[in-house]
């Protein structure tokens, strides 16, 4: 008798849960959604996010309102996103390096990679090792050969993850490079074009300069679409930077919200305005489902751990 009563009660609870879930799925979203972008206005991520938010709003039938929360290399906005209510009404448009490398190497950060639901991938930053024509090397292999005969040649990096990966390559190849710190691509470009450095890390700005810059290697798991002859660090050394960006949400959002957001992102990527903005900044579309996005993140964490330990960022 007690068993039957228990089963009946459990069935009633499940039925109520199913009804509530179904009602949420039908109603969501019933109010505007906030999209946090953890960077200042005007950059490539914020530019993409502004256009993507409008396209997603059309798909979801509700406004998607962008709020920029810059600071800490993306950590400030990502902290806000991770601590937001997991109801599907706060999302973040962000590169996964902010959600992987930063919490892995900065213990003061108040979020973990596991605090996020990776909803859908959108595009891919084109990080690479670049130089200019006229140097005695046009490939990474030639650069390494030249470096062994000319120790201490200069490389521009942006600190943090880029410095770690540049140092990792130097360790693997047994070469000595002198790092020149730069504050982003805006400073790197004149350094490289003005021959103040011999080669440089680029987060993707090199693609605006066409034949004025040469890609020696892709820091991604894949080769750059615009530089298919340059190998990736995944091919050469078994490690890659986290280049993907996309929509994430606080862990624990309702499945119905996750599914609707994922579908909205997929549809929005064919929006003409979004297509135009990606063509302008020369970033490729790279849609990833939730499952695919999470798989990329898991693989990325393995690479980052290997590089961070080899270069002393974590012990």
Q: Over range 46-72, report the average pLDDT.
A: 97
Amino acid 152: pLDDT: 87
User: How far is Cα 92 from Cα 146, in angstroms, rounded to an integer?
Assistant: 43
Each residue's pLDDT tens digit, 146-195? 999 999 899 999 889 999 999 999 999 999 999 999 988 889 999 999 99
Whether the pLDDT of residue 19 is over 50: the answer is no
Residues 6+ apart with CB under 8 A from 97: 74, 161, 241, 242, 243
Whether the pLDDT of residue 17 is over 60: the answer is no
Q: DSSP 3-state assignment of 148?
A: helix
Residue 152 shares a structural domain with residue 214: yes
- Residue 254, domain CATH: 3.40.190.150
Peptide bond into 29 cis (omega under 30): yes
Domain count, the chain: 2
Residue with tokens 């007690």: 2
Residue 146 shares a structural domain with residue 100: no
Query: Cα-Cα-Cα-Cα dihedral of 270, 274, 279, 281, to 10°?
Result: -150
26 part of a folded domain: no
Residue 138 shares a structural domain with residue 225: yes
Whether the pLDDT of residue 244 is over 90: the answer is yes
Residue 38 shares a structural domain with residue 105: yes
Amino acid 26: pLDDT: 77
* Residue 181 structure tokens: 């710190």
Each residue's pLDDT tens digit, 264-313? 999 999 999 999 999 999 999 999 999 999 999 999 999 999 999 999 99
* Residue 132 structure tokens: 């200019």
Q: Which residue among 209, 237, 265 closes a domain?
A: 237
User: How far is Cα 70 from Cα 73, in angstroms, rounded to an integer?
Assistant: 8
Amino acid 185: pLDDT: 86
Residue 68 shares a structural domain with residue 156: no
* Residue 23 structure tokens: 């009602």
User: How far is Cα 251 from Cα 283, in angstroms, rounded to an integer?
Assistant: 28
Q: Which residue among 214, 237, 260 closes a domain?
A: 237
* pLDDT-wise least confident of 5-9, 137-141, 160-164, 258-262: 5-9
315 part of a folded domain: no
Q: Which residue among 200, 215, 237 closes a domain?
A: 237
Residue 253 shares a structural domain with residue 305: yes
- 118 forms beta bridges with 248
* Residue 202 structure tokens: 């680029």
Which residues constitute the domain of residue 121? Answer: 31-125+243-310
The model's pTM: 0.88
Amino acid 186: pLDDT: 86
Calculate the average pLDDT of the chain: 92
* Residue 26 structure tokens: 């039908």
- Residue 145, domain CATH: 3.40.190.10
57 part of a folded domain: yes
User: How far is Cα 216 from Cα 132, in angstroms, rounded to an integer?
Assistant: 10
Residue 222 shares a structural domain with residue 253: no
- 247 forms beta bridges with 93, 120
Residue 230 shares a structural domain with residue 253: no
- How much of the chain exceeds pLDDT 90, in percent? 86
Task: Write the burial class of residue 228 (CB in 10 Å: 0-12 exposed, 13-18 middle, 19+ buried).
Answer: exposed
């Amino acid at each position: 008798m007690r068993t039957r009563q228990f089963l009946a009660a459990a069935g009633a609870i499940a039925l109520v849960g199913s009804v509530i879930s179904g009602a949420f799925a039908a109603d969501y979203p019933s109010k505007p959604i906030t999209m946090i972008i953890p960077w200042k206005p005007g950059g490539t991520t914020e530019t993409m996010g502004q256009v993507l938010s409008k396209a997603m709003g059309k798909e979801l039938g509700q406004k998607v309102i962008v709020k920029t929360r810059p600071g800490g290399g993306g950590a400030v906005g990502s902290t806000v996103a991770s601590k937001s209510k997991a109801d599907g009404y706060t999302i973040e448009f962000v590169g996964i390096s902010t959600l992987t490398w930063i919490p892995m190497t900065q213990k003061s950060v108040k979020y973990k990679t596991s605090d996020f639901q990776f909803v859908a991938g959108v595009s891919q930053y084109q990080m690479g090792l670049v130089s200019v024509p006229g140097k005695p090397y046009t490939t990474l292999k030639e650069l390494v050969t030249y470096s062994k005969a000319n120790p201490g040649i200069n490389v521009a990096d942006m600190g943090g993850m880029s410095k770690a990966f540049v140092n990792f390559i130097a360790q693997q190849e047994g070469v000595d490079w002198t790092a020149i710190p730069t504050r982003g691509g805006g400073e790197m470009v004149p350094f490289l074009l003005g021959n103040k450095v011999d080669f440089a890390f680029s987060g993707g700005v090199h693609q605006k300069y066409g034949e004025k810059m040469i890609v020696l290697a892709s820091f991604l798991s894949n080769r750059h679409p615009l530089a298919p002859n340059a190998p990736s660090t995944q091919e050469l050394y078994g490690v890659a930077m986290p280049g993907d960006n996309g929509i994430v949400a606080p862990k624990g959002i309702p499945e119905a919200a996750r599914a609707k957001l994922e579908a909205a992102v997929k549809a929005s990527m064919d929006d003409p305005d979004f297509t135009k903005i990606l063509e302008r900044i020369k970033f490729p579309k790279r849609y990833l489902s939730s499952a695919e996005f999470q798989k990329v993140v898991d693989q990325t964490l393995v690479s980052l751990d290997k590089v961070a330990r080899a270069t002393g960022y974590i012990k």
